Amino acid sequence: MNQIIYLLRHGETVFNTQGRYQGELDSPLTIEGIEQVKNISKLLKVVINDPDEWEIISSPLGRAMKSTEIICETIGFDLNKVTTDTRLREVSFGSWSGLTTKEIEASWPELIKNTDRNNWYFNSPNGENYDSVVERVSDWLESIKNKEKVIAVSHGLTGRVLRGVYNNLMKDQALKLEISQTTFFKLTNQNIERFCYEYDEF
């Protein structure tokens, strides 16, 4: 079996525009965020052919579910057939959820100092650590190994770690991977292909 996974991120949210770390908190999609998902969905529709051949699995967080709703409407997929999986949820920021970088630096300067800009958020009190995220996305990948065609709707950091696990990358490599709301990724045969609606005609 030649499995194909399309990995999408939710559209821009109000917290995204404010520079706030959402984690497992939620904020609504912006008008721009809704347009991003619509555009990504139009491109997705072109590459998947028949939507009924696919399975859609979404993070249960509100911003991902709203994005999934838009995706289903655009590609012609029955929303009632979507399943949710908590293993696709965003990384938990614990005490830092809902805060900006400046607010975090002001209250926890010692936890920020001398850390790598790509992984400092894993120092959050009560937050989720990198190994825990690796474990849950690895578990998710294992659980879908017999599914031929999967569309997954997830989040920035979780999607980054998931691609890193899929490609057997080291932590520092995985955490430098692109995060974008105009891009989605095709995972197949341990290869990852990037699709961006800003550069594609459809």
Catalytic residue, from 10, 24, 128, 155: name it. 10
Known catalytic residue at 90: yes
Known catalytic residue at 10: yes
Reading the block at residue 187, the tokens are 């995972």
Q: Give the distance, in angstroms, between the CA of residue 127 and the centroid of all CA atoms in the same chain.
A: 18
Catalytic residue, from 12, 90, 128, 155: name it. 90
Taking the C-alpha atoms of 138, 65, 9 and 180 in order, what is their torsion angle to the nearest 10 degrees? Answer: -150
- Identity of the residue numbered 89: R
DSSP states of the chain as a string? ---EEEEEEPPPBHHHHHTB--TT---PBPHHHHHHHHHHHHHHHHHH--GGG-EEEE-SSHHHHHHHHHHHHHHT--GGG-EE-GGGSPPP-GGGTT-BHHHHHHH-HHHHTT--TTTGGGG-TT---HHHHHHHHHHHHHHTTT-SEEEEEE-HHHHHHHHHHHTT--HHHHTTS---SSEEEEEETTEEEEEETTT---
Q: Give catalytic residue positions.
A: 10, 90
